[in-house]
Amino acid sequence: MTSASTLTPSAASADEPPSPSSLTIIDSSIVVNGDDHERIGNKTNGNVQHCTSSTMDQKGHCSRCGASRKRSNTRPIMQNVTTVATRQSSRSAPPSYPISSRDFINYLRQNKEIAKNVTVRLVRPIEPVSIAEEEEAVTLTLDASIINPFYNALKEKMRGTVLKPFSLEFSIENSIGKTRASGKTNDMFYCPCDIAISYNSSTILVLDMGNNRIQVFTTGWRYRTTINLPAKHLCIEPNFDGKKNDALIISCNDHCIYKYDLEKLIACSKNGQKCDFIWRAGTPNSKGKSPNQFNLPSGMVCSNGNKENNFERILYVCDCNNNRVQILRTSNGNLLESIGETPEVDSIFFKGPWSIDLNARGEVIVCEVDGHRLQTLVKNDSGNWTSIQTFGIISGYSSSFNHPRSIVIDKVRNNIIVCDQDNNRIVSLNNTTGDVVQIFGSAGRRMDQFFKPFSLCLNEFSGELYVADFCNHRVQIFK
């Protein structure tokens, strides 16, 4: 199947797990019909709408919405077993959230106890109504025990709309702040150095380093509030409590990592109150190399974990001056392991790891500000970390970095977008080959120029790229 896959939430309360009879898959999608009533969308033959409701009038239309009964090629198999509905044409897919059928199958393989009574089989469609409605049916037979844990896990993992790539056209949308003018008012910055997005709270955070504060905006860039914290790097942990609340994780100059409930932090900031952190990792104002210490902790990224740690969420932290990457539990900040701690054993050498991200395959990409390169890391079959690829150490100005400060992975286009600070430009590389895809920018104050760009953030819902233009005291927004 080649169609986009999606996860749509229940019409009932988002915190309540769906009942076994309410889970269906349409167009390789998970669709939860909390009240057994779902409009599927417009069909091409007369713009007839279909729904799943069993409440129909004498003419075969839904008594609540007027839509006709949805055509289906599947039938119930047994009590307390869900049968997945047929795949409809992409034009009839409802608004939904991304989750691939591959993720579904991988989930079953990795959770054998949950999935022991699950079977998957392809079903040929009954005679299609028309070319526009041609259906390729996929039926999954699910024991009721899988529905709630699977739904909850994937709802937490993949909330959002269909991901959009960055166009690479660098069309200028807007600029926040005043070019080459620093300030303390709500519409100004003094050396902005990081940007993060909380999709669950529809919030953009800009780390205003020179003012020792975090400026909080809506996703439309309307000012909300100011958080007075002397942070140096930002990271969002989505849905950290299972109730659609995001956590803000920051690294600070005191060589510590702090985790906060973002909504509580914003509320406290509006009310002028102090907000307690959830946990702290590191020893305040004490740098070091011991397992519970950092030396200039820098960029961070959250991951949903893997089979080895029972899919516990983890946090990768660039421990810059210790030339290592620390891996922590997001639940309590405890150390799990380190990468680069023993370069003589694993042959992983870092020189100033500053920024970090994960690609669509779960590989770890590390940006080394003093090494002027990127490294791709994976765990081998023996459970050891290994470096499989490096980018940047190439002859020629157009393909070399000069103190790269930030990276972001465009998972749709499979590109690595690099903030090449001292070259005053943005470089896009193919994540697989390392080939240069696009180079944009030069030194200056024009809208198409930068002065020491420090950080990047990709809005995966809008396709916009945000650039923290450090010495121009502004945030550039490109489409």
Domain that holds residue 115: 6-157
The pLDDT value given to residue 109 = 57
**237 shares a domain with 136:** no
Question: Is residue 115 domain-resident?
Answer: yes
**210 shares a domain with 109:** no
The answer to whether residues 429 and 418 touch, using CB atoms and an 8 Å cutoff, is yes
Asked whether the CA dihedral 141, 109, 375, 251 is positive or negative, the reply is positive
Lowest mean pLDDT among 50-54, 252-256, 320-324: 50-54
**350 shares a domain with 387:** yes
**351 shares a domain with 463:** yes
Average pLDDT over residues 131-148: 38
The pLDDT value given to residue 399 = 52
Question: Is residue 204 domain-resident?
Answer: yes
> Over the stretch 105-114, which tens digit does the pLDDT of each residue have?
555 556 555 4
Lowest mean pLDDT among 27-36, 196-205, 245-254, 416-425: 27-36
pTM for this predicted structure: 0.69
CA proximity to 387, closest of 369, 408, 368: 368
215 to 83, 176, 394, 423, 428: CA distances (angstroms):
48, 11, 38, 27, 28
Distance CA 403, CA 43 (A): 54
Question: Is residue 314 domain-resident?
Answer: yes
Question: Is residue 164 domain-resident?
Answer: no
pLDDT at 7 over 90: no
More confident residue, 336 or 144: 336
The pLDDT value given to residue 429 = 94
**178 shares a domain with 149:** no
**336 shares a domain with 219:** yes
pLDDT at 95 over 70: no
Lowest mean pLDDT among 70-79, 115-124, 281-290: 70-79
**218 shares a domain with 93:** no
pLDDT at 177 over 60: yes
The pLDDT value given to residue 299 = 98
Contacts of residue 218, defined as CB under 8 A and 6 or more positions apart, other chains included, come to 202, 203, 204, 224
**201 shares a domain with 99:** no
- Mean pLDDT estimate for the chain: 75
Distance CA 458, CA 39 (A): 32
The pLDDT value given to residue 64 = 46
pLDDT at 476 over 80: yes
> Over the stretch 282-341, which tens digit does the pLDDT of each residue have?
999 999 999 889 999 999 999 987 767 777 899 999 999 999 999 999 999 999 999 998
Work out the pLDDT band at 364, boundaries 50, 70, 90: very high
Token pair, residue 251, equals: 């690294």
The pLDDT value given to residue 11 = 32
Q: Among 107, 130, 157, give the residue marking a domain's end.
A: 157
Work out the pLDDT band at 240, boundaries 50, 70, 90: very high
Question: Is residue 215 domain-resident?
Answer: yes
The tokens 């059928």 sit on which residue?
Answer: 101
Question: Is residue 420 domain-resident?
Answer: yes
More confident residue, 20 or 239: 239
Work out the pLDDT band at 162, boundaries 50, 70, 90: confident
Average pLDDT over residues 25-37: 32
Work out the pLDDT band at 377, boundaries 50, 70, 90: very high
More confident residue, 197 or 139: 197
> Over the stretch 389-401, which tens digit does the pLDDT of each residue have?
998 854 444 458 9
**351 shares a domain with 279:** yes
Beta pairing, strands 353-358 & 364-368: antiparallel
Q: Among 157, 188, 220, give the residue marking a domain's end.
A: 157
Task: For 184-230, list the strands marked E by DSSP.
Answer: 192-198, 203-208, 213-218, 223-227
For the chain, the domain total comes to 2
Query: Which contacts qualify for 342-350: CB closer than 8 Å, 24 or more apart?
Result: 346/384, 346/385, 346/386, 347/386, 347/387, 348/375, 348/377, 348/385, 348/386, 348/387, 349/323, 350/323, 350/324, 350/325, 350/375
Token pair, residue 258, equals: 């702090």
Q: What is the 3-state secondary structure (H, E, C) of 6-25?
A: EEECCCCCCCCCCCHHHEEE
Distance CA 399, CA 392 (A): 7
Tell me, what amino acid is at 14? A
More confident residue, 36 or 205: 205
pLDDT at 128 over 70: no
Lowest mean pLDDT among 165-179, 288-302, 357-371, 383-397: 383-397
Question: Is residue 166 domain-resident?
Answer: no
Question: Is residue 163 domain-resident?
Answer: no
328's enclosing H/E stretch is strand 324-329
The pLDDT value given to residue 366 = 98
**121 shares a domain with 184:** no
Give the percent of the chain with pLDDT over 90: 57
Give the percent of the chain with pLDDT over 70: 64
**91 shares a domain with 59:** yes
More confident residue, 23 or 211: 211
> Over the stretch 431-440, which tens digit does the pLDDT of each residue have?
999 899 999 9
**190 shares a domain with 53:** no
Q: Among 127, 157, 187, give the residue marking a domain's end.
A: 157
The pLDDT value given to residue 281 = 98
**In this structure, what CATH number is given to the domain that contains residue 325?**
2.120.10.30
The pLDDT value given to residue 110 = 61
Work out the pLDDT band at 261, boundaries 50, 70, 90: very high
pLDDT at 29 over 70: no
Lowest mean pLDDT among 46-55, 73-82, 162-171, 240-249: 73-82
